[in-house]
Amino acid sequence: MLTRLINLARQLAKALGLPSASPTSSRVPTADSQLTFLIEILQATADSKGNAEVVYPLLQANLDKLDDNLALLLRDWATAKLAEVEPEQAQGIAEVIFYFSNRIQEFPLGSRATNLEIAITGYEVVGTVFTREAFPQEWAMTQNNLAIAYSDRIRGDKADNLEDAIAFYQAALQVRTREAFPQDWAITQNNLATAYLYRIRGDKADNLENAIAFYQAALQVRTREAFPQDWAKTQNNLAIAYRNRIRGDKADNLEAAIKAYQAALQVYTREAFPQDWAMTKNNLATAYLERIRGDKADNLENAIAFYQAALQVRTREAFPQNWATTQNNLANAYLERIRGDKADNLEKAIAFYQAALQVRTREAFPQNHAETLFNLGLAYQDAQQFTNAYHSFAEAIETVESLRMEIVLGSAVEEDKQKLAEEWNKLYSRMVAVCLELNYHDQAIEYIERSKTRNLIELFATAKLKPKAVTENITKQFHQLRQQWLDAQRNLEDSQHITQRRQQLDDFIAREITPHDPNFRLLEKVQAISLEEIRTSLDNQTVIIEWYITPEYFYALTITSDSQQPDVWQSSPEDLKQLQEWAYEYLKDYYLQQSHWRKQLNSRLSLLAEILHLDQIIS
């Protein structure tokens, strides 16, 4: 049987002229070896009924064959094979492909992005046999699993993937009704809620309300008495939704989140479910860190205690990534701590951030690396260790600028992109403030310019500009190489592989694009401008006055053609407050009372000049 299927597969591949897509492995398997492997893994899946202990070792021994070609091969082979066999045999083959898709979707090794594409292909093939009309229950199960795969999918547009996932969950619920299949209905309600929790399209507040409603629906069946573990999982998910909720009173939402986390911990005990217990403890700690009600000092002490409890399980040896996350969170709590000696709290915060950075390296977790460096810089700044703060912020900025394309195009959630942009703006603002504290006035100007350049480049990237004067094929190859680099980072592949992907992209741009579009590289990386370059662009009749706003003050930096360092003027906190009030009134009238805005324009601009101390600065 196996030999006959292998021969059939080889004949089919030759007849169909299977394409050779860019493989995700550097070792390209031969067509015969990959066809043999496909049949072998399907046979092992059939014999073991999809037992992971049988299937996973075989997958691990053939990582080089888990590439994009395998998904193409699976679709083409299965489509032709299913068309020629009897219906009963087709159902058996579809069942085997379903189990294989489940296993490859959860397989922890190889390329996560590729594994998900293979799983999606398998589910789509299964759906051609298990139709809603003929096999409604199996069809609904396949729709649910396909939705899970699209929720996790790395390739393609994240917003599109989540819309597909929602559609597949909703399709599954047409069969998985509460009356006919209550347990399956509850599973899909929980999954649908999670898709809405992270949805990009639509109104964010509406999405969170839908998530809460679907989680609450799932809990009607997933009771503590009937399904305690599922009940705890949904309680934890519901808590996350309440913590992020936009509507309703923020304090009430955080109380609801705390209540749901505490409910989950009734089942998620350290003895029975140590990993889930530690996850929920970490989440509960974050809710207490943000809590509005109760005594602030007590809330922070609770947060610290819960983070420390989570670290009893989340050790560096067993769960390095989770350990680093909780170390970072614990540092945040000590940074805000009210009780205890302030200097001691800052030293502890610094130590925990430094510990987190042992795992959150630039190579392995670049975005987390930048986040923790920023936090570390804040701690150093609070401790008046400005030189250390400068070095932390500088390294964070280098990481952010190197990852600009990943942050703009790769973030999972649109609100995350906005949050990241706000955080990075704070990073530059803090760096400017530290430079001014250290009298690095020339570097203050340079970081101001880098901040503006970064924002402009992100607008270019968001617009998805294409290289000019090159063929469509070159453009397509560029997007493929860039996507492979982004996939490697999202997929947490080893740092050497990520570096290789980036080098391949850089080499391609230099070889195929730069000769035709020399300026395209400028859109790929922030190019800093020095104070000397700014000075040399000025004549002796021109002066640049640059205002910059930080959380405490605003500054005016004056540059002339013969300035060795910018002249720096600093506002008072009262000046900043007046400027904020002026901006609020100005914009309110501009948007709501245009006629009044016009009448007041001259007087308002005069007031602005006073607030900015323009005469004093010019003189």
Band (1; pLDDT cuts 50, 70, 90): very low
Give the separation between CA 20 and CA 31, rounded to whole angstroms.
9
pLDDT(532) > 60:
yes
Which range is least confidently modeled, 67-71, 207-211, 217-221, 531-535?
531-535
DSSP letters along 391-430, please?
HHHHHHHHHHHHTHHHHHHH-SSHHHHHHHHHHHHHHHHH
pLDDT digit string, tens, across residues 301-347 = 999 999 999 999 999 999 999 999 999 999 999 999 999 999 999 99
More confident residue, 230 or 492: 230
| Separation in Å, CA 605 to CA 557, 594, 596, 597 | 20, 16, 14, 11
Angle of helix 414-437 relative to helix 366-382, nearest 10 degrees? 40
Are the CB atoms for 514 and 506 separated by under 8 Å?
no
pLDDT digit string, tens, across residues 20-48 = 333 444 344 556 789 999 999 999 999 99
Q: Would you list the domain boundaries of the chain?
A: 465-523, 574-619
pLDDT at 23: 40
Band (484; pLDDT cuts 50, 70, 90): confident
The tokens for 223 are 């009771």
Q: What is the share, in percent, of the chain residues with pLDDT greater than 70?
A: 86
pLDDT digit string, tens, across residues 62-109 = 999 999 999 999 999 999 999 999 999 999 999 999 999 999 999 999
- Residue 614's nearest CA partner among 579, 580, 562, 566 is 579
Query: What does the chain come to in residues?
Result: 619
**For the sheet containing 554-559, what is the strand order?**
544-549, 554-559, 567-570
pLDDT digit string, tens, across residues 565-574 = 899 999 999 9
What one-letter code names the amino acid at 291?
A: R
Give the separation between CA 368 and CA 360, rounded to whole angstroms.
6
- Residue 155's nearest CA partner among 485, 459, 604, 612 is 485
Cα angle 10, 71, 413; round to 5: 175
More confident residue, 531 or 71: 71
Which range is least confidently modeled, 113-127, 267-281, 526-540?
526-540
Give the separation between CA 114 and CA 216, rounded to whole angstroms.
34
How large is the average pLDDT for residues 477-503? 70
How large is the average pLDDT for residues 162-191? 98
Give the separation between CA 532 and CA 435, rounded to whole angstroms.
17
pLDDT at 12: 38
Band (211; pLDDT cuts 50, 70, 90): very high
pLDDT(411) > 70:
no
Are the CB atoms for 128 and 142 separated by under 8 Å?
no
Give the separation between CA 593 and CA 52, rounded to whole angstroms.
67
pLDDT(8) > 70:
no
The tokens for 374 are 């920023």
Query: Tokens 């662009």 sit at which residue?
Result: 537
Give the separation between CA 2 and CA 401, rounded to whole angstroms.
53
Max Cα-Cα span within the chain:
93
| Separation in Å, CA 205 to CA 170, 237, 245, 422 | 20, 16, 7, 20
pLDDT digit string, tens, across residues 286-295 = 999 999 999 9
Band (268; pLDDT cuts 50, 70, 90): very high
More confident residue, 401 or 409: 401
Give the separation between CA 239 and CA 318, rounded to whole angstroms.
26
Query: Tokens 């002229």 sit at which residue?
Result: 17
pLDDT at 125: 97
Query: Tokens 């000019």 sit at which residue?
Result: 468
Which range is least confidently modeled, 382-386, 451-455, 474-478, 511-515?
451-455
Give the separation between CA 261 and CA 291, rounded to whole angstroms.
13
pLDDT(298) > 80:
yes
Q: Which of 146-160, 326-340, 401-415 has the highest mean pLDDT?
A: 326-340
pLDDT at 586: 94
pLDDT(445) > 70:
yes
pLDDT digit string, tens, across residues 42-57 = 999 999 999 999 999 9
pLDDT at 495: 57
